[in-house]
Amino acid sequence: MRVIIKDDKQAVAEWAAQYVAYKINQFKPTAKRPFVLGLPTGSTPLGMYNELIKMFRAGKVSFANVVTFNMDEYIGLAPNHPQSYHYFMQENFFKHIDIKPNNTHILDGLTKNYAKECADFEFEMRRLGGVNLFIGGVGEDGHIAFNEPFSSLRSRTRVKTLTESTIKANSRFFGGDLKKVPTQALTVGIQTIMDAQEVMILATGANKATALKHGIEGAVSHVWTISALQEHPHGIIVCDKDATQALESQTAAYFLEVEKNNF
Ligand code: GLP
């Protein structure tokens, strides 16, 4: 696993955006052979989306031949609900770039048939040859997408019930009202993410320090689902210094040294 440690969240956003643009450009995607990108929501990736929008406007990257799959969506929220992940993606990224609406995939939180919705999502990813780069954030309890503690590390897209800690953390987007936060979500599984050719997890702020400690230094375990990344052949964590607070000092020093000249 690579761990890229940057001074602050803006530097994380810039590094991540440049990496995404580099990967897309290097792939030289076409309509027939699109670059497949897995995308997260949450506050952490906002800076990266802003940087990617700037790069698009500057002509440094195009999303015309990029296909996206979002990690998750709340059950029960319509796409036009301001807290739905559909709305988030539209407002914070898609409407500012040249991506084709048909090339964006987000699970339908209003579906009547969860099993079919989830199976179709997985099928579509496979049909396109798999995800080239899956980007994620991480919850305070170490969850990636909505794979809460004790999610199977072999899980695939399915319904998950959110933990109290996640509902509490996410209530800030619902005016602090816990009762307004949906209790369930559709989410890709850990195995779905691990099937991607490359996985990049972003983490900023001291409230993610414990999750990073378990993810980087702990054992691979369903307790901290981010730890599954240790088994991925191309896993990258991009984090700021605050998020490394709980790491052993040798761990941070090792990654700062080994990555100092790398992109
Ligand atoms: C939610 C999302 C996750 C995200 C996490 C952290 O639970 N389902 O995909 O990584 O929140 O969010 P934030 O980046 O706002 O801390």
pLDDT in tens, 234-255: 999 999 999 999 999 999 999 9
Q: Which of 134, 170, 226 to mutate to test the pocket of ligand 1 (most atoms within 8 A of CB)?
A: 170
**For ligand 1, is residue 73 a contact (CB within 6 Å)?**
no
Q: What is the pLDDT of residue 261?
A: 85
Whole-angstrom distance, CA of residue 152 vs CA of residue 149: 9
**For ligand 1, is residue 72 a contact (CB within 6 Å)?**
yes
The low-confidence residues of the chain, meaning pLDDT below 50, are none
Q: What is the pLDDT of residue 262?
A: 86
Ligand 1 midpoint to CA 156 (Å): 18
Task: Name the residue with the closest Cα to ligand 1, atom 10.
Answer: 137
Task: Name the residue with the closest Cα to ligand 1, atom 9.
Answer: 145
Whole-angstrom distance, CA of residue 155 vs CA of residue 53: 32
Task: Name the residue with the closest Cα to ligand 1, atom 5.
Answer: 139
* Residues involved in catalysis: 72, 141, 143, 148
Atom number in ligand 1 closest to CA 42: 15
Whole-angstrom distance, CA of residue 68 vs CA of residue 49: 13
Q: Is 151 exposed, middle or buried (0-12, 13-18, 19+ CB in 10 A)?
A: buried
Ligand 1 midpoint to CA 255 (Å): 24
Provide CB contacts within 8 A for 167, sequence distance 6+.
178, 181, 183
